[in-house]
Amino acid sequence: MAFDEARFGLINWHRRRYCPRGFRPPYIVKRSYKWTYLYAAVEPTTGESFCLYLPGMDSGCLQTFLEELSQAYSDEHLLLVLDGAPSHRSEEIVCPENVDFVRLPAYSPELDPVERWFQEFRRELSNKAFETVELLQEALTRTITPYWEDSARLRQLSGFSWWTEAVDAL
């Protein structure tokens, strides 16, 4: 499974918008510094995923995610692909018995299939403002739901050819 976390906040992202020539496109701007973190693990060959909202990006939150993931897949042995974030390298992390880590090379987020999923979330939530973190989480959940309902959609988005070929070779 590929794993990563992403920060989503009340400060919104801006994307290009269509507007008639000579008019400036209207953008909603909100400057409130509150965040939530979406931890996600994706299996690109099947389109299966496991997500959890947590308050930060530190070794404690990662440990919580790993424990929840381990319980959700208690009868399977998981190989979790991580990037080089400081919380992923922490000595405080106690790896559950049914989970092992494989690290991606440094500075290579383009190799992580979860990053493509996060790009879709950011695209979907761009140019929108949220009053509270809870409303942001609800919008994120609405954005995630179609991928849970149709695993082929997530498989198409995250199934890099080199990933699926490597898994098939096992």
pTM value is: 0.87
What is the SS3 assignment for 22? Answer: coil
- Looking at the chain, the whole-number percentage of residues with pLDDT higher than 70 is 92
Backbone angles phi, psi at 30, to 5 degrees: -135, 130
CA pair distance 11, 32, nearest whole angstrom: 6
**How many other CB atoms sit within 10 Å of the CB of residue 21?**
4
The pLDDT of residue 126 is 85
Q: Which residue has the tokens 């998981």?
A: 78
Backbone angles phi, psi at 151, to 5 degrees: -65, -25
Q: What is the mean pLDDT of the segment spanning 28-37? A: 77
Residue 41 in tokens? 């693990």
**Domain 2-12+31-159 maps to which CATH number in 2.30.130.10, 3.30.420.10, 3.40.50.720, 2.40.30.10?**
3.30.420.10
Q: pLDDT, tens digit, for every residue of 47-56?
A: 999 999 999 9
* Contact (CB, 8 A) for 114 and 38: no
Q: pLDDT, tens digit, for every residue of 77-108?
A: 999 999 988 888 888 999 999 999 999 988 88
